[in-house]
Structure 1
Amino acid sequence: MAIKLEQPAILFILMLFPFLSSTTTINTTSLTAYEVMETYNFPIGLLPEGCLGYDLDRSTGKFAAYLDGECQFSLEGSYDLKYDSTISGYISEGKLSSLQGVSVKILFFWINIIEVTREGDNLKFSVGIASASFPIYNFFICPKCGCGVDCVNGGKKGTGMKLRSEI
């Protein structure tokens, strides 16, 4: 009779194991957040320098990337970008969606960037009602907080990140 009690318990555990393993969040130390971006066909420069870590559920694409605080810099004086200390959303091949924690200043207002898609050699940034596309080569280098990619004197503010738009 003891064998009959153990068999249902073993079957229950075996049935539950695939469910548990498919919904767990992966925080892997083998890949950096930048390398994960590349596995989904994105350049590393979408994240600023100094990403501390990330969480990724590979079954759903839900992710979160962690910075050491808020990060802000200018893009060639035209755009100001702001990253919260946590950036989250969903990642799939060539698409970041339901983004939270990244915003662009347009005139006097901060507007959330909600989606980034890769379209060939361009990246399309959407704020919902409007979007803009930029060549991917603008994002091969990670920007630094405070000065973008045009930093001088060990990271002090330069003229900002050079960004070229596709017309």
Structure 2
Amino acid sequence: MGNLCLWFLFMGSCLGPLSVAEKLTAYQVLEQYDFPIGLLPKGVTGYELDSSTGKFSAYLNGTCSFSLEGSYDLKYKSTIKGYISKDRLRDLSGVSVKVLFFWINIIEVVRSGDELQFSVGIASADFSISNFYESPQCGCGLDCLTSNLTEAYEVRGGRPFVSSASNW
């Protein structure tokens, strides 16, 4: 019995204090690699990351699409994969942008100072990083509040909302 107690004491001192490390969110991982959180839409349910290779997968409940600035349509599959390193996402799959009538996969994102360069292979476009400080929401992008208020206003025939619980 004494040997068993000594063994537990020895193992306890070797392991140190037990603590449960909190797993970072996918958005926090993006920030660790110097990317803004807005590269991923709201609602990421989980992710996997092999920190030795940078291989990652991020998961959504389903596909996600929205428009940005009224001119860019984006679509995310339920699984987004690629390789992440400081200032570079490469070999991406699961993210596409609509150009004219075609959906084209975004295969690389590179950060250079305050600019993000999105590459679809044969072409690329640069955008200010300030456009990605907030995560877009599936369905309405960054205009969710505006579109919800406009929709509510139109549903009421252009009449502003009046609460029936007012105090007279």
Name the TM-score, length of structure 1 as normaliser. Answer: 0.74
Corresponding residue for 2:70? 77
Please tell me the root mean square deviation across aligned C-alpha atoms, in Å: 1.9
Instruction: List per-residue Cα deviations over 1:54-99 (Å, max 9, x = no partner).
Output: 0000000000000010000001221100000000000000000000
Question: Which segments of 5 or more consecutive residues in structure 1 lack a partner in the other structure?
Answer: 1-27, 159-167
Q: Would the alpha carbon gap of residues 31 and 155 (structure 1) be closer, same or farther in structure 2, given more than 3 Å must change?
A: farther
* Distance change in 2, residues 1:106/1:57 (3 Å): same
Match of 1:151 among 129, 135, 144: 144
Match of 2:113 in 1: 120
> Given the superposition, is the C-alpha separation of residues 62 and 140 from structure 1 closer, same or farther in structure 2, using an over 3 Å criterion?
same
Answering whether residue 35 of structure 2 is matched by residue 42 of structure 1, we say: yes
1:142 aligns with 2:135: yes
Q: Using the aligned pairs only, state the percent identity.
A: 66
Q: 1:82 to 1:156 in 2, by over 3 A?
A: farther
Conserved 8 A contact 1:90-1:97: yes
**CA offsets, 1:94-116, max 9 Å, x none?**
00000000000001100000000
Q: Distance in 1 between matches of 2:59 and 2:39?
A: 13
The aligned residue for residue 92 of structure 2 is 99
SS in 1 for 2:30: helix
> Does the 8 Å contact 1:88/1:100 carry over to 2?
yes
Label 1:154 to 1:31 Cα distance change in 2 as closer, same or farther (>3 A).
Answer: farther
Q: 1:117 to 1:155 in 2, by over 3 A?
A: farther
Once the two structures are superposed, what CA deviation does each residue of 1:12-60 show, in whole Å capped at 9, x if it has no partner? xxxxxxxxxxxxxxxx852000000000000000000010010000000
Q: Distance in 1 between matches of 2:120 and 2:92?
A: 10
Q: In structure 2, what is the Cα distance between the partners aligned to 1:147 and 1:157?
A: 12
State the partner residue of 2:57.
64
Distance of 2:98 and 2:124 partners within structure 1: 14
CA contact (8 A) 1:144 1:155 kept: no
Q: Which has the larger radius of gyration?
A: 2
Q: For 1:50 and 1:101, how far apart are their aligned partners in 2?
A: 15
SS in 2 for 1:31: coil
Deviation at 1:155, TM superposition (A): 6.0
For 1:51, the equivalent position in structure 2 comes to 44
For 2:89, give the aligned amino acid.
L
Contact 2:140 2:147 in 1 (8 A): no
Match of 1:32 among 14, 25, 30: 25
